[in-house]
Amino acid sequence: MSAAPDPPAENHGAIKRRRIKLLTTISIILIVYLLGAYGGVLPEKTASWWPDLFWTAAALAAGWRCLHTAKTRTVQHERVAWNLFGFAALSWFTGMLIWDFYEIAAAKLVPFPSLADWFFLGYPVLCTAGLLYYRTQIPTRQHNMIQVANLGLIVCTIIVSCFIVLSQALQQSDHPLDYQIYALSNSILNFVCFVFGVYCYWFYVWRENRRSFRLMLLALFIFAFTDTLYAFHLLGKSYDAASYFNIYWLIAFALQYWAAVEQDGISQIPSRETDDRKIPRAQKYEAIMPALCLFTVLAFTLYFRDRLNDVTSNVMAAAAVAFAFFLTLREWYSNRLEKELMKEVQAANLELEQRVLKRTAELSDAILELESFSYSVSHDLRAPLRTINGFSLALHEDYIHLLDDTGKDYLHRIRTGTQKMSDLIDALLKLSRVSRHTIQHQPVPLDKLAEGIIQQFREQEPGRNVNVAITKNVLANGDEYLLRIVLENLLSNAWKYTSKTENAQIEFGGYEQNNENIFYVKDNGVGFDMQYYNKLFNAFQRLHGEEFEGTGIGLATVARCIRRHNGRIWGESAAGGGAAFYFTLPPAVTRPESETPWFAVPPHSK
């Protein structure tokens, strides 16, 4: 049989509303309890058993919710764990039923210890078993001395804190030994359960059920804390059923109920093992554990300073030695771990250097092969082209009168093809030289380069009337050879693609935006379709037909020149609406304030 599918995912809004509803219900119940127990609205007899009813109902509700959650679990170990959590609450519920019988039905003081107290002891025992089952199938984290030292610090903190709270009561208690042992055992077992929960949280991966486990862990802590106060009152003969700390038991069962509710929704919450910096979350808490433990001991010492005596001083001295040992263990392991990491970093650096040397050698070989290819293209391919072109020229000069129109057309196509092949070879050689060229950064007056290039175009086509606007004092920081190639190709395209446009216009300039120097070449020519933009800067890709000459390598050469300057290049256009090309370069040298600024107002993108 196939496994049952996961329930449909809830959105975060639904999860948030469910939590708000639950917290509102818990708050109302706690307010009703406080009003009945301390508000003076109930008769004295009713107020005496008012807390008993709430404890009984809270334990029953938590136990039922955990058992309900266990039924929904498809994983065996989770189902057993939540059953044990439910039985733990029901064990406490059973103890409360016996307690209620004495308090309400029999109307007499509950003996201590009684059968009810043994059922109360079942809560930490069953919860510890549940934690043991819960973590059995979960992948373990790697154990290390820092985690062991942290657990040692926690144990020391618990021992010292409990001894500070209970030492005076034990010293003054005249109860029998079995009475004192039981009074302490409940507190100790709950703290052992809590410490084991902390161990499970640190040493095991919890993934989606992290929230429910934290709530359960908080409930165990409140139980341990409340039972310690309970033991203090028992030993000191000052326990009052209406004591304010009784509300903590209700809060603990409410947290357990909430944990079961959260566990029902773990399939709807995405797994998140690390925070935004990819650091395991538990490691952040482990780092502050020594300071937290020392602060806890200090707080207990200051709060119960009137109970300190020679015995507690000796215990605190022994605890200080234990603290020093575990802190030394942490420091020793941290230094050892640092040394191991340094060795790994050094080994990684050595491997990286070797890889760089290997890649450099491979790059050098590739460059040599490229140069050899370029030499072959320049000489070996040009030779047959020159032969074809020479014989076709001789054929044209000596035998053109013997050819009919078809023969003349064939001869013209041969000469045109050889010329295109020659132009293509020149473009490929220029592209290869761009990759091998050693960049020499210097201030380059791009406006002067643009003016010279446009002047050459006017001399080659004196019959064309093109309106060219070039911004003055446009400086760039780069290699003059490569930047000349950039402007030659961009301005050549602008000149070429405005050849069929009346009132042709070409514009060159630059501006500054977001701490970048941006340069542009714009025209009002035929433009290009932006849906083919991804082909624009690739070699041998042309977006126009045979009506415009070209090799399809010019923009690829421009892009390579800009990338070698660590810049960016992009184009904007619409078919028939002109084109605009923008590129960025490193910051230019600072010019005196008295001179005209090199940048202009950002152009409007067409």
Contact 578, 524 (CB under 8 A): yes
Q: Which of 3-7, 280-284, 520-524 has the lowest mean pLDDT?
A: 3-7
Confidence of residue 224 (pLDDT cuts 50, 70, 90): confident
pLDDT of 513 strictly over 70: yes
Q: 422-473 pLDDT, tens per residue?
A: 766 776 666 666 666 777 888 889 899 899 888 888 888 888 888 889 888 8
CATH of 439-585, one of 3.40.50.10490, 3.30.70.1060, 1.20.120.140, 3.30.565.10: 3.30.565.10
- Find the mean pLDDT for residues 475-489: 86
Q: 47-69 pLDDT, tens per residue?
A: 677 888 888 899 999 999 999 98
| Cα distances (angstroms) measured from residue 445 to each of 40, 113, 600 | 91, 97, 15
pLDDT greater at residue 135 or residue 27: 27
Give the DSSP letter string of 346-361: HHHHHHHHHHHHHHHH
For residue 543, what pLDDT is reported? Answer: 53
Distance CA 77, CA 86 (A): 14
For residue 66, what pLDDT is reported? Answer: 92
pLDDT of 96 strictly over 70: yes
Q: 367-390 pLDDT, tens per residue?
A: 677 666 666 666 666 677 777 877
- Find the mean pLDDT for residues 215-231: 83
Return the ∠ at Cα 70 (arms to 69 and 73), rounded to 5°.
Answer: 90
- Find the mean pLDDT for residues 71-86: 87
Q: Which of 13-27, 289-303, 509-523 has the lowest mean pLDDT?
A: 289-303
Strands 505-513 and 467-470: parallel
pLDDT greater at residue 362 or residue 306: 362
Sign of CA dihedral 60, 66, 70, 76: negative
For residue 538, what pLDDT is reported? Answer: 64
- Find the mean pLDDT for residues 554-571: 84
Confidence of residue 276 (pLDDT cuts 50, 70, 90): very low
Cis peptide before 176 (omega within 30 of 0): no
- The amino acid that residue 563 corresponds to is R
Over the chain, what is the mean pLDDT? Answer: 76
| Cα distances (angstroms) measured from residue 320 to each of 159, 317, 331, 494 | 12, 5, 16, 82
Identity of the highest mean pLDDT range in 12-26, 102-116, 258-272, 442-456:
442-456
Q: Which of 66-75, 365-374, 403-412 has the lowest mean pLDDT?
A: 365-374
Distance CA 444, CA 584 (A): 14
pLDDT greater at residue 239 or residue 232: 232
Give the DSSP letter string of 187-251: HHHHHHHHHHHHHHHHHB--GGGHHHHHHHHHHHHHHHHHHHHHHHHHHTT---TT-GGGHHHHH
For residue 91, what pLDDT is reported? Answer: 92
| Three-state secondary structure call for residue 505 | strand
For residue 604, what pLDDT is reported? Answer: 43
For residue 85, what pLDDT is reported? Answer: 93
- Find the mean pLDDT for residues 152-181: 70
For residue 402, what pLDDT is reported? Answer: 79
Distance CA 314, CA 228 (A): 21
Structure tokens at 27: 């708050």
Helix (H) or strand (E) run with residue 315 in it: helix 310-375
Identity of the highest mean pLDDT range in 251-255, 428-432, 530-534:
251-255
CATH 1.20.1070, applies to 12-268+277-308: yes
| Three-state secondary structure call for residue 397 | helix
- Domain ranges in the chain? 12-268+277-308, 439-585
pLDDT greater at residue 141 or residue 360: 360
| Three-state secondary structure call for residue 511 | strand
Q: 304-361 pLDDT, tens per residue?
A: 777 676 766 777 788 788 888 888 887 888 888 888 889 988 988 999 999 888 888 8
Confidence of residue 541 (pLDDT cuts 50, 70, 90): low
For residue 271, what pLDDT is reported? Answer: 41
pLDDT of 267 strictly over 90: no
Secondary structure of 453-470 as H, E, C letters? HHHHHHHHCCCCCCEEEE
Distance CA 216, CA 140 (A): 20
Confidence of residue 591 (pLDDT cuts 50, 70, 90): very low
pLDDT of 274 strictly over 60: no
- Find the mean pLDDT for residues 526-546: 65
Closest CA to 583 of 516, 507, 489, 525: 516
pLDDT of 154 strictly over 50: yes
Give the DSSP letter string of 100-165: HIIIIIS-SPPPSS-HHHHHHHHHHHHHHHHHHHHTTTSPBPPP-HHHHHHHHHHHHHHHHHHHHH
Contact 200, 135 (CB under 8 A): yes
Percent of the chain topping pLDDT 70: 71
Q: Give this prediction's pTM.
A: 0.49
For residue 112, what pLDDT is reported? Answer: 66
Gap between the terminal Cα atoms of the chain: 63
- Find the mean pLDDT for residues 556-576: 82
For residue 340, what pLDDT is reported? Answer: 87
